[in-house]
Structure 1
Amino acid sequence: MMLNSTSSTLSYFILGAYLNIGNLRSFYFMITAMLYLVIIVMNMSLIVIICMNRSLHEPMYLFLCSLFVNELYGSTGLFPFLLVQILSDIHTVSASFCFLQIFCIYTYANTEFCNLAIMSYDRYLAICFPLQYNTRMTCNHVPIFIILIWLYSFVKFLITLSLNINLLLCGNIINSLYCHNYLVVKLACSDTKVNNIYGLFGVVLSILVPLLPIIYSYMKILNVCFSGSKQMRQKAVRTCTPHLVSLLNFSFGCSFEILQSRFDMSSVPSVLKIILSLYFLIIQPLLNPIMYGLQMSKIRKMYQHLFCYKMLSGQTDPVQVQ
């Protein structure tokens, strides 16, 4: 459908990547709803554990709390919308909600990468400067870093959104499961030079700004590992493994999403394209609480304490209580 109007008067977009699932609709709805529920429960439980226990009010765990909040934020920008679309026969979305979803998903991705970058810097200080760690990374510094991460992501994509809303669009079909910034810009029949320049500048900022502290931090950590003792190497591996797994997983998912939105992927099966487009929005919020929940000894102990407390409470015989 071709529409000769500005995006400010465009009433809706059509999402063209949904398959005809027929009788499997209920099955896909249940699977998606279960995934969303698991993400909410796991991330919320870790947020509550960190907030309610003063022994976990340390920089590393506060950065983790910010990471888990971001997982909930990004998931909420996708899953409720996805559940509605699965039940719907006509896959349309209002223009205003589409731009809101673009803002939510893109700020989620940028905040995730920046959060992982500041966590790598935190690990660098803990491993390379263990004696000075408490003076270099204080609890007063942590909220400043977290506020800057979120503020940077929000401001950057507010500018992107303001540029895109003023575009003259000559179509309203987006070949995706959700609203995608680049695909909306491709619908424009007006001059997109400013959008493309700022878009390229934004991509460089989104990748380069977090990537520099990550590379620097891990170069220093590797240097300490190679020149340090076996105990130092074991500590570095133990503390950096969940962060590296999370970083690589997120980079993997984002790379596939960027590639398939900008290049011809017609030879790739539709089911595989759907999985890859949702990968960084589903697997990352599932993986992080599992990785950090199992790897961090303090969080494990809190889980065990809560579980044992509930088990003992359930087994207590009121008659025997004196």
Structure 2
Amino acid sequence: MKNITQNPGYFQFTLFADYGRLRYLFFMLSLLIYITIISANMVIIITILLEKSLHQPMFIFICCLSVNSLYGSAGFFPRFLVDLLSDTHFISRTSCFIQIYVIYTYASCEFTILGVMAYDRFVAICQPLHYHTKMTIRKAVFLWGVAVVYPICTLTYAIALTSELPICENKLDRIFCANRAVVNNSCGDSTHGDIVGYFIIFSTVFIPLFFVLYSYLRILVECKRGSAELRGKALQTCLPHLVTFVTYSFSLFIEMAIAKYDTNTINPVISAILSLEYLMVPSINNPLIYGLKLPQIRTAIFRYKSGPFKNYSRKVQFYPS
């Protein structure tokens, strides 16, 4: 029987093993990946901010994805890099809940932003004559705000419920703090929190998923009866979003499966790799897909790269005093 009086003030990650000197190699590889995530997403953000021709709803949403990737990776990598070099892998209860909050809001916001982007592509392809009236910059910012504020509010409430549970054990079979892993260590009634969690998953994951599928079904029907030029335009603008959405959905559902599955029956290395895939791949994939596939962003990146001082006057004009 669990001892309800323990309620420890820290948790211990149990998936970290003693790899000897190999941990320095893992540290360097992880640090390289983190630097790549920061650099690639910053290139996308700065390019969209400085290039006036990219001040359009679609590119605003792409910029939001990059900001979200930086936010989510900041909630995981610094702590993970420290743990790779540490002999002990303890995290305070407060730090654990902060990490849960950052990673979970990142995950939810990613899905809701991708859902809003699907609406943007739906209007652009299926209602092109009304696009500039339905998708203004102001409306794009409003939709982005809704896509961010809703997950933040709901997850704040859900994680607050988890933080109030009495904790009787402190072993987390993960490489980062996860809400389900903490709940499994509690000895209180988590029914209310479970119901709230299922509602959040439904509203921030499955509703955007169904909406994206519906939008692309309508786009597919429109392209089938449209011209070759329309199909080319749809392929050029929708393919990056579709690849990003499929990649992230796959990563997220793997993480959800790991959260529900007993990790003691999985090889620790495999479990760690699957968790890393959920946090690493989407953050690298987004800037690479949009930076290389969309000609508007790719052209702007190469122009600033080849002549940064040549565009200085235009950059100054974009930021009025």
Q: TM-score, normalised by structure 1?
A: 0.92
Distance 1:5 1:95 in 2: 16
Aligned to 2:236, the other structure's residue is in SS state: helix
**Once the two structures are superposed, what CA deviation does each residue of 1:200-234 show, in whole Å capped at 9, x if it has no partner?**
22221222331232122111101101111222222
For residue 264 of structure 1, report the CA deviation from its aligned partner.
3.1
Tell me which amino acid in the other structure corresponds to 1:19.
Answer: A
**Once the two structures are superposed, what CA deviation does each residue of 1:124-162 show, in whole Å capped at 9, x if it has no partner?**
111111121101101110111111111111101101111
Distance 1:119 1:111 in 2: 12
Q: How does 1:148-187 map to 2 (within 5 A)?
A: 148-187=146-185
Q: Which runs of 5+ in 2 are unaligned?
A: 312-321
Q: Among residues 107, 110, 120, which one is paired with 1:109 in the alignment?
A: 107
Q: Among residues 11, 17, 20, which one is paired with 1:19 in the alignment?
A: 17
Q: Which residue of 1 aligns with 2:61?
A: 63
Q: Which residue of 2 aligns with 1:300?
A: 298
Aligned to 1:14, the other structure's residue is in SS state: strand
**Once the two structures are superposed, what CA deviation does each residue of 1:260-305 show, in whole Å capped at 9, x if it has no partner?**
2212355543222111111121011101100000111111111121
Aligned to 1:169, the other structure's residue is in SS state: coil
**Once the two structures are superposed, what CA deviation does each residue of 1:35-57 show, in whole Å capped at 9, x if it has no partner?**
11111111011101111121111
For residue 312 of structure 1, report the CA deviation from its aligned partner.
9.6
Distance 1:70 1:195 in 2: 25
Distance 1:235 1:303 in 2: 21
* Alignment CA distance shift 1:268-1:175 (3 Å): closer
* Alignment CA distance shift 1:301-1:116 (3 Å): same
Distance 1:252 1:113 in 2: 12
For residue 190 of structure 1, report the CA deviation from its aligned partner.
1.3
Q: How many residues align?
A: 310
Distance 1:180 1:57 in 2: 37
Contact 1:16–1:176 (Cα < 8 Å) also in 2: yes
Q: Which residue of 2 aligns with 1:191?
A: 189
Tell me which amino acid in the other structure corresponds to 2:136.
Answer: T
Tell me which amino acid in the other structure corresponds to 1:216.
Answer: Y
Q: Which residue of 1 aligns with 2:72?
A: 74
Distance 2:63 2:5 in 1: 44
Aligned to 1:13, the other structure's residue is in SS state: strand
Q: Which residue of 2 aligns with 1:277?
A: 275
Distance 2:80 2:263 in 1: 22
Distance 1:89 1:234 in 2: 55
Q: Among residues 141, 144, 147, which one is paired with 1:146 in the alignment?
A: 144
Q: Among residues 26, 41, 44, which one is paired with 1:43 in the alignment?
A: 41
For residue 308 of structure 1, report the CA deviation from its aligned partner.
2.0
Q: TM-score, normalised by structure 2?
A: 0.92
Q: Among residues 205, 208, 211, which one is paired with 1:207 in the alignment?
A: 205
For residue 235 of structure 1, report the CA deviation from its aligned partner.
1.6
**Once the two structures are superposed, what CA deviation does each residue of 1:88-128 show, in whole Å capped at 9, x if it has no partner?**
10000000000000000000000000011000110111111
Q: Which runs of 5+ in 1 are unaligned?
A: 314-322
For residue 254 of structure 1, report the CA deviation from its aligned partner.
1.0
Aligned to 2:128, the other structure's residue is in SS state: coil
Q: Which residue of 1 aligns with 2:318?
A: none
Structure 1 runs, 4 residues or longer, greater than 2 Å off: 2-7, 264-270, 310-313
Q: CA RMSD in A?
A: 1.8
**Once the two structures are superposed, what CA deviation does each residue of 1:48-103 show, in whole Å capped at 9, x if it has no partner?**
11111211110000011111000000000000010110011000000000000000
Distance 1:154 1:21 in 2: 37
Contact 2:173–2:263 (Cα < 8 Å) also in 1: no
Contact 1:172–1:187 (Cα < 8 Å) also in 2: yes
Q: Which residue of 2 aligns with 1:319?
A: none
Contact 1:6–1:166 (Cα < 8 Å) also in 2: no
Aligned to 1:140, the other structure's residue is in SS state: helix
Aligned to 2:137, the other structure's residue is in SS state: coil
